[in-house]
Amino acid sequence: MLLNILHSVNLLTDEVSNMSNEMLGEKLYKHFKGKRYLIVIDDIWDIGAWVNPKMCLPNDNIESRVMFTSRHREVAVHTSPDSQPHCIRFLNEEESWELFQWKMIEVATCHPYAKESARKSKKALETVV
């Protein structure tokens, strides 16, 4: 995860890729020291994935934030015990299909057969269910 964060702020080089976790953490800390930042991490499944990066980010009381998503409530509660996680419900079948179609519009502009493939996939799923 440290490498991904360094990559996202354009600090990833061949030299950095070969550094130890301790050195990566130090580089990350120095980069963010005294700066406001917002880091968004999607889909953390395990609290261990958050422990290492957390220690490498300075807390200078300048309103920096780390926001993440998780499928597991326990992970969210453990990472921020002082605040309540925002829980959202799963989409129902109709909402899921609408979202899929909406996302397919983007794909369909590049791939002319994408919409037909989506229809076939939906029909195949309906016969299985």
Residue-by-residue pLDDT tens, the chain, 129 positions: 888 888 988 888 899 899 998 999 999 999 999 999 998 888 888 888 877 788 888 988 888 988 888 888 888 888 776 778 888 888 898 898 888 877 776 655 556 566 666 666 666 655 554
Quick check: is 107 in a domain?
yes
Q: Is residue 50 part of a domain?
A: yes
DSSP class of residue 34?
A: T
121 CB-near residues (< 8 Å, 6+ apart): none
Question: Do residues 47 and 104 both lie within one domain?
Answer: no
Tell me the residue range of the domain where 100 lies.
93-128
Alpha helices in the chain (DSSP H): 2-8, 14-17, 21-32, 48-55, 73-79, 93-108, 114-128
Q: pLDDT at position 28, please?
A: 92
Task: Identify whether residues 15 and 46 lie together within a single domain.
Answer: yes
Q: Are residues 51 and 113 in the same domain?
A: no
User: Domain total for the chain?
Assistant: 2
Q: Do residue 14 and residue 47 come from a single domain?
A: yes
**Quick check: is 53 in a domain?**
yes
In this prediction, residue 129 carries a pLDDT of 46
For position 100, what pLDDT does the model report? 81
44, 68 in Cβ contact below 8 A?
yes
